[in-house]
Amino acid sequence: MVKVLVVDDSPMVLEMVSAHLKQHGIEVTEANNGAEAVEKLKAFTPDLVVTDVVMPQMNGYELCRWIKNNASTKNVPVIMCTTKSEEFDKYWGMKQGADAYLTKPYHPPELIKTIKQLLNQIN
């Protein structure tokens, strides 16, 4: 079973994204911010991470850099899913190592399609 870590400081978004992924047979672990995500990533390595950008304690850009600079997680695909929709935001996200960048409100089928594409690239 595919394991995805979903990181968002909005309880509503976290619940919505998690429920959608579970409907597609994906096992979900949740974190409320980047710092909590790092602690979870130290305990297990998911197949993929979906993260917001704007969060307290550690934002999505910082989390992505941590994932890509850590030997045990550097190959884990990262999808940034955020309201930050300017071209520079997307550019900066990709510079931090993000493998995909979706803007909210996202279309649920697009998220599933992106996850499948990224996982097929590494399998």
So what CATH class is 3-122? alpha beta
Task: Sketch the domain layout of the chain as residue ranges.
Answer: 3-122
Give pLDDT, residue 123.
52
Query: Vertex 82, ends 116 and 66: CA angle to 5°?
Result: 75
Order of strands across the sheet with 48-51? 27-31, 3-7, 48-51, 78-82, 100-103
Give pLDDT, residue 122.
61
Give pLDDT, residue 117.
95
Q: pLDDT tens for the chain, 123 residues: list them.
A: 999 999 999 999 999 999 999 999 999 999 999 999 999 999 999 999 999 999 999 999 999 999 999 999 999 999 999 888 788 888 898 999 999 999 888 888 999 999 999 999 765
Give pLDDT, residue 12.
94
pTM for the full predicted model = 0.94
